[in-house]
Structure 1
Amino acid sequence: MTLITISGYPTSGKTRRANQIKDYLEQRLQDASYEGPRLKVRILSDDILNVDRAAYDDSRSEKAARGTLFTAMQREMAKDTILIVDAMNYIKGFRYQMYCAARELKLRVCTVYVVATPELCKKWETERKDGKSYAPETLDNLIMRYEEPSSMVRWDSPLITIPWIDEDVPKDDIWKAVMEGNVKPPNSGTQAIQKAPSDALHTLEHTANSLVSAIMAEQSASGGLGGSVLLSMSGSLKPRIQLPARNITLSELQRLKRQFVTVHKKAITLGTVEKGGVDWSEESVAQKFVSYLEENLKP
């Protein structure tokens, strides 16, 4: 349904805001006036995943921590779930990665930027009593490296900013983003590539060769008159082709056949991103080759 990405400095009040958002959404979804689909609201955080604050002390352990969060996020995302990711999410590249994962599932996205000054965050950090504190140098480093969200980039939009002085979250803005926001299609570059069947290469070669033989046989029988010709091939294949009024040499047909096969071999071996099913049957290959010859045979 929706991915809500919480972002902000360490100890800026992100968990408090995540809980406020969750409580409000659950209340609104249970209201008698709500007539939409049945939805769950979930929070995902380092604490829920038992990721220790010490994981951010060095880059290697931090990378593993982000991987744990991302994997859990992918597991929790669903059409019937509003997922709130309560973490720093301070690297814009990581927010973009999360955004792409949400788009793959055609979920709405929303970024909530929890704002507090570095001085306040450091003060609140010293007042913690839950034993979940950052090392002072780690806290300074994370604040210095923080990459602020921007409403100007698609992966941070829509962006809802909540300053520390606000007692509550902007409920109407959040509800609108969760329930009415645009659902963007997946990036074409991240979609699964459709593979050709295992016998596609054999079909391509065999059908192209058979069509060349049929053209040469027809030309021999008709004396090279050209025009619209119905070719007889193996089985029930009888493609129609428009031939030029001249004798076409075997070497010319073989050259065009090699060009055609080379182009389509690439689609077979690397896959295709064409929309819908891609037909590699003999009939389809024959029709494609006929069109290719009609375009490339000179009068």
Structure 2
Amino acid sequence: MPLIVLCGYPLSGKTTFARKLESICEQKKVACFSKSDGDLNEPRDLLYRDSKAEKTTRARLRTEIERVLDKESLVICDSLNYIKGYRYELFCLARSLNTQYALVFCISSREQVMQRNYLLKQENGDYYSDEVLRGLMERFEPPLSENRWERPPFVVDENTDVDRECEQIISFCKDAKVALRAVIATKKLPVTANNILEQAEKVTQRIETQIFERCEPYIPLQLAESSHVFQSSRKVTLAELRKIRRSFMRVIQKNLSSYHSEREIADSFVEYLNTQLQQARH
């Protein structure tokens, strides 16, 4: 069963929708787990008070999801998920298990969000400070249909028939035809435990050089070594690329058995670059 990722402004109805989806899953005897910011046992404002806290929050939530995600249960990620790079990480997580992935975009106006936050404050509930709330709304990156990991998004607003939408999501999740497939690389050279680090050094150095020489802000860059596209909103320095490459090599060293070809290494490195540069913006 798949990973269902909710996204939207803070207080846009994500948790209400998640609870309804859980309820319908229970009626249909579908195993379901919901993981949310609430599971981290800290006030909302502290979880998103600055960029460091936000990164920690995303990392902790991903760990919670990884712990329960499998092919048997439906897992709901009930959080802001406002950064497209993080949503892509979750997409890759589902893909690694050959399971389905669906995005639910909960739409609400800024005025509605501010009003709900005001009511929470009046009730001494778990509310956001005005500064944090405005910052989160300004940084929200809405799903784009051009991004294959965000297509087809399910859209929920105040006019949505929630029961019907939940039924459609569950049907989508049960459809084996839409299950993602883990990347099976086209092998150039076989990579073994003995030479994997050597091959990784070579392929990541080539990618690093191509990006430094050819990358232009906002223009997708197709690399010869990878089936993935590199894209950045700014010119990336060689020092940044080398720092990220060193970090990736440490990841490789801990997961030698996960790679079987240069293409797999290249695909993982490009994904890693995109994610790290995306997170550096926040």
Q: TM-score, normalised by structure 1?
A: 0.59
**Structure 1 residues 83 and 11 mapped into 2: Cα distance closer, same or farther (>3 Å)?**
same
From the two aligned structures, give the one with the greater helix fraction. Answer: 2
**Structure 1 residues 126 and 196 mapped into 2: Cα distance closer, same or farther (>3 Å)?**
same
Partner residue of 1:97? 89
CA-CA distance at 1:173 after TM superposition: 1.9
* Higher CA-based Rg: 1
Residue deviations 1:227-254 (CA, integer Å, cap 9, x gap): xxxxxxxxxxxxxxxxxxxxxxxxxxxx
Partner residue of 1:9? 9
Partner residue of 2:180? 184
In structure 1, distance between residues paired with 2:93 and 2:62 = 9
CA-CA distance at 1:103 after TM superposition: 0.3
Q: Which amino acid aligns with 1:125?
A: N
Partner residue of 1:41? 32
Residue deviations 1:109-163 (CA, integer Å, cap 9, x gap): 0011111101000001111136211110110010011011133322112311011
CA contact (8 A) 1:100 1:187 kept: no
User: Structure 1: 5+ residue runs without aligned partners?
Assistant: 30-38, 200-270, 276-299
In structure 1, distance between residues paired with 2:108 and 2:181 = 34
Q: Which amino acid aligns with 2:192?
A: A
CA contact (8 A) 2:99 2:181 kept: no
In structure 2, distance between residues paired with 1:132 and 1:78 = 31
Would you say how many aligned residue pairs link Structure 1 and Structure 2? 193
In structure 2, distance between residues paired with 1:175 and 1:155 = 18
CA contact (8 A) 1:51 1:65 kept: no
User: Structure 2: 5+ residue runs without aligned partners?
Assistant: 196-258, 264-282
In structure 2, distance between residues paired with 1:175 and 1:196 = 41
**Structure 1 residues 194 and 51 mapped into 2: Cα distance closer, same or farther (>3 Å)?**
farther
Partner residue of 1:50? 41
CA contact (8 A) 1:109 1:158 kept: no
Cα RMSD for the two superposed structures? 2.5
CA-CA distance at 1:55 after TM superposition: 2.0
Q: Which amino acid aligns with 2:180?
A: K
Partner residue of 2:112? 120
Partner residue of 2:199? none
Q: Which amino acid aligns with 2:134?
A: D
**Structure 1 residues 131 and 171 mapped into 2: Cα distance closer, same or farther (>3 Å)?**
closer
**Structure 1 residues 25 and 194 mapped into 2: Cα distance closer, same or farther (>3 Å)?**
farther
After TM superposition, list the pairs within 5 Å mapping 1:137-216 onto structure 2. 137-166=131-160, 168-169=162-163, 170-180=165-175, 182-188=178-184, 196=192
CA contact (8 A) 1:160 1:173 kept: no
Counterpart check, 1:73 vs 2:65: yes
In structure 1, distance between residues paired with 2:10 and 2:89 = 21
Q: Which amino acid aligns with 1:71?
A: T
In structure 2, distance between residues paired with 1:2 and 1:175 = 9
SS of the residue 1:47 aligns to:
helix
SS of the residue 2:162 aligns to:
coil
Partner residue of 1:23? 23
CA-CA distance at 1:274 after TM superposition: 8.4
In structure 2, distance between residues paired with 1:178 and 1:98 = 16
Q: TM-score, normalised by structure 2?
A: 0.63
Q: Which amino acid aligns with 1:175?
A: I
SS of the residue 1:44 aligns to:
strand
Partner residue of 1:136? 130
In structure 2, distance between residues paired with 1:13 and 1:21 = 12
